[in-house]
C-alpha cells in the first residue's frame, strides 16, 4: 500500500502534498472541537460571594439566585437561575442563557445578581438581596466577581460599607425606575 501511495504522489506537485498534510490535522481538530473556537457566542464566567454582614440574612430554604445580564439600555440579554445556592457560587453564562436565542450581544453589558425566596426576577421586595458589578463587561469576559452586598428596602437599598450600613439613593439602584 505504501508503495502504491508513494507512486501515486510522485507526479503531484510538492505544494499540493503539503496542503494535504496540513488539511488533515485541521479537519481532525474541527471534528473533535467543533466550531467553538470560531464562535462569537456569549461566555461570561466568574464567582459570586456574599458580604460577611449579610451571611446571616441569607434565606435558608427555597431561595433562588438570579444572574441577570443587561445591555446598557437596561434590557435583559441573558438570565441564569440557580436554586438553593451554596456560596461561593461559580457561574458561567453561555448562549443557552440568552433571552432571545441566536442573538450575539456585541455592545458593553452590565451584570447584576438578585437573591430572593419568592422566585420572581426583576421584582424585588423588601428583604431581598442584590449586588451589581461596577463596570461594563463584554460578552466573552471571564473572572467577573459579583458581590451580594445590598438588602432591598422599599425604594432604596442598603449597602454594606466598612463603617456599617449606608442607605443608597433610589437613582443608584438599577431597578429604581420600576417603583416611580
Per-residue pLDDT at 153: 79
What mean pLDDT comes out for the span 67-77? Answer: 92
What mean pLDDT comes out for the span 115-125? Answer: 81
Mode of pairing for the β-strands spanning 109-116 and 43-50: unpaired
pLDDT score of 78 more than 70: yes
Q: Looking at the structure, give the CATH architecture of the domain made up of residues 40-178.
A: Sandwich (2.60)
Per-residue pLDDT at 101: 87
Contact call for residues 86 and 49 (beta carbons, < 8 A): no
Residue 162: pLDDT band with limits 50, 70, 90? very low
pTM comes to: 0.66
The string of pLDDT tens digits covering residues 143-154 is 999 999 988 876
Per-residue pLDDT at 3: 52
* Pairwise CA distance, residues 176 & 150, whole Å: 14
pLDDT score of 99 more than 80: yes
Per-residue pLDDT at 154: 62
Contact call for residues 96 and 53 (beta carbons, < 8 A): no
3-state DSSP call for residue 138? coil
> What are the structural domain ranges in the chain?
2-37, 40-178
Amino acid at each position: 500500500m505504501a508503495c502504491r501511495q508513494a507512486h501515486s504522489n510522485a507526479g503531484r506537485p510538492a505544494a499540493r502534498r503539503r496542503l494535504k498534510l496540513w488539511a488533515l490535522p485541521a479537519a481532525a481538530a474541527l471534528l473533535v472541537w467543533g466550531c467553538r473556537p470560531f464562535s462569537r457566542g456569549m461566555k461570561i464566567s466568574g464567582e459570586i460571594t456574599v458580604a460577611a454582614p449579610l451571611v446571616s440574612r441569607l434565606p435558608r430554604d427555597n431561595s433562588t439566585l438570579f444572574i441577570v445580564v443587561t445591555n446598557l439600555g437596561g434590557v435583559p440579554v441573558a438570565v441564569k437561575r440557580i436554586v438553593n445556592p451554596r456560596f461561593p457560587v461559580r457561574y458561567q453564562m453561555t448562549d443557552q442563557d440568552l433571552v432571545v436565542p441566536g442573538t450575539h450581544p456585541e455592545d458593553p453589558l452590565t451584570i447584576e445578581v438578585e437573591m430572593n425566596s419568592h422566585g420572581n426576577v426583576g421584582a424585588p421586595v423588601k428583604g431581598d438581596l442584590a449586588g451589581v458589578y461596577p463596570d461594563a463587561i463584554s460578552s466573552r469576559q471571564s473572572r467577573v466577581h459579583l458581590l451580594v452586598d445590598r438588602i432591598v428596602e422599599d425604594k432604596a437599598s442598603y449597602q454594606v460599607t466598612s463603617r456599617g450600613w449606608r442607605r443608597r439613593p433610589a437613582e443608584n439602584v438599577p431597578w429604581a425606575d420600576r417603583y416611580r
